[in-house]
Structure 1
Amino acid sequence: MAISLSDREVTLLRRVSEGLLQPLRADWLQTAPDLASDLQRLLSMDFIGTTRWNPRTGHYENAACTGRGPDMARVYVEEFQRCDPISPRLRPRRGPTPIYSVINRAELERTRYFNEFLRVYQTTDGIDLHLYDGETNVGDFRFWRAPGGIPVGSREVALLTLLQPVLLCATRSLYNRTSTAVSCGFPQLTSRENQIVTLVARGSTDRTIAHDLGISYWTVRTHLDHIFEKLEIPNRAALIARVHREQA
């Protein structure tokens, strides 16, 4: 699909491409605000979100966003992904796809997902891109606009098609780096929780884990509380002992 770019858009496209090809932290939407802002401006979007589908658990994980508060990413993962009617239809697709090409707007507006989540966070029109390395889903991007904006259409598809190889490269690299930490595999834990278990068993402190995974110290502490509860163990020492027993 041919697309005509202004000088401003060419500059933004170059900066975004160069930024995405640098090593990124897992929380780059927050820690690289200039890059996130350039990507938003290039696509004229109000919101960018990222998640990763975990086929083992059947859930989206590692959510992050910019353009809205971080609470939006948290409540999506914790509650609203369960009633999300859009992502299951978009996940098998290998290219940028406007949401209203897979669901009728009237149908969406009747859902709890629209009325208690999308409308609350002022994101009612978007285009998603699910990225694959072979058959492995390495992550996704969700680009959305507030009500009253220009409808998402062929221009956004064309721009994201241009960016898709760079977005895939960045996401695949991040996926490969974070996945190397996963060697423990408790089936009752999420992939992020298993990452943290592995790092704890290797002797990493909570602050080191936070830095390595690009999340906050308090997020690590919250994950550990969930791990202790799910594995029915009281503390860190018991967790390390449990890992050593499992690997013996």
Structure 2
Amino acid sequence: MYVTAAESRVLARVFGLLSEDLGERDVREAVGHHLLELLQADYYASFVWEEATRTFGKAVFLNMDPKNLANYDRYYQHHDPITFKLQARREATLVTQVMPQRELMRTEFFNDFLARDGLHWGVNAYSFVGDRNIGDVRIWRGRHRQNFDAHALELLRLIEPAFTGALVRAAGGAMHADASPVLRLSVREFEIARMISDDLSDKEIAHRLSVEVSTVRTHLKRIFEKLGVRRRSGVASLLSRH
């Protein structure tokens, strides 16, 4: 994927942040500031799915009215026509991919909740450990802006593994027993693992990363050990599942 110089600088800050030892709420709040800049967005919120109560809780948000979010907690999340569809996809997804904008604009959820704060075009991403949703990001633009595009989805998919890993670490290891081994990879190791999945050779990976082939092979050895596989096909198989 093509990344501009400005996006590269923001991504560097995001990955630096996600490598720090932060609390779960701090991870979700701090990353929001960077996502608004990276995606040129206006509004941000993040929730955690509470399986026991079947509700979204622990809200953090930027540029949204706390009273309106309280209404979401109390009422609108139970009359939400898009979020469960977005969550079911388990990856970064445009709101318009699960519901046409014109149809959304006819709903109570849009007119009495989203539009009150000016939210119009949305994209959501969800972090899963096994079947558990451990946190999400919900990013929106105002009505006078353009919708998010495929490039925004690629940026979110690039960040998601590091975001999930940061949430797992913040939980103090409580999730590690169920966690995917992919979460054990560093950001650079995950980047190389994705290139392996794209069937790039060691030489091609080295060229893309501007490093020596021997450096790539050192990373490969660590990737194989962390994932518990012996072949490149095993790496590709794990990434396709997680």
* Structures share fold, TM-score greater than 0.5: yes
- Cα deviation, 1:140-188, whole Å, max 9, x if unaligned, reads 11011111112111011011111111111122333x24979xxxxxxxx
The reply on whether 1:6 has 2:1 as its aligned counterpart is no
1:26 Cα offset (Å): 4.3
Note closer, same or farther for the CA distance 1:178–1:47 as it changes in structure 2 (3 Å cut). Answer: farther
The answer on whether the counterparts of 1:20 and 1:167 sit within 8 Å (CA) in structure 2 is yes
The residue number in structure 2 matching 1:132 is: 128
| Contact 2:121–2:142 (8 Å) recurs in 1 | yes
What is the match of residue 157 of structure 2? 161
The verdict on how the C-alpha distance between 1:58 and 1:164 changes in structure 2, with shifts beyond 3 A counting, is same
| Distance in structure 2 (CA, Å) of the matches to 1:36 and 1:17 | 13
Secondary structure of the structure 1 residue equivalent to 2:88: coil
State the SS of the aligned residue for 1:163.
Answer: helix
User: Is there any run of 5+ residues in structure 1 with no aligned partner, and where?
Assistant: 181-248
* CA shift digits 1:61-91 (9 cap, x unpaired): 1111112233343221122101111111111
8 Å Cα contact 1:47/1:144 also seen in 2:
yes
| Residue pair 1:48, 1:142 contacting (<8 A) in 2 also | yes
Matched residues in 1 for 2:155 and 2:28: separation? Answer: 23
Q: Say whether 1:62 aligns with 2:62.
A: no
**Shift of residue 29, structure 1, vs aligned partner:** 7.3
Contact 2:126 2:137 in 1 (8 A): yes
- SS of structure 2 residue aligned to 1:119: helix
Q: TM-score, normalised by structure 2?
A: 0.66
Q: Where does residue 121 of structure 1 map in the other structure?
A: 117
> 1:123 and 1:5 mapped to 2: Cα distance?
26
1:1-248 pair list within 5 angstroms: 2=1, 4-28=2-26, 32=30, 36-174=32-170, 176-177=171-172
Q: Any conservation in 1 of the 2:29–2:61 contact (CA below 8 Å)?
A: no
Q: Which residue of 1 aligns with 2:238?
A: none
Q: Which runs of 5+ in 2 are unaligned?
A: 176-242
Distance 2:110 2:29 in 1: 29
Cα RMSD after superposing both structures: 2.2
CA distance in 2, matches of 1:72, 1:28: 22
CA contact (8 A) 1:54 1:60 kept: yes
Q: CA deviation at 1:31?
A: 7.0
Paired residue total: 175
Q: Would you identify which runs of 4 or more consecutive aligned residues in structure 1 move more than 6 Å?
A: none
Among the aligned pairs, what percent are the same residue? 26
SS of the equivalent of 1:85 reads: coil
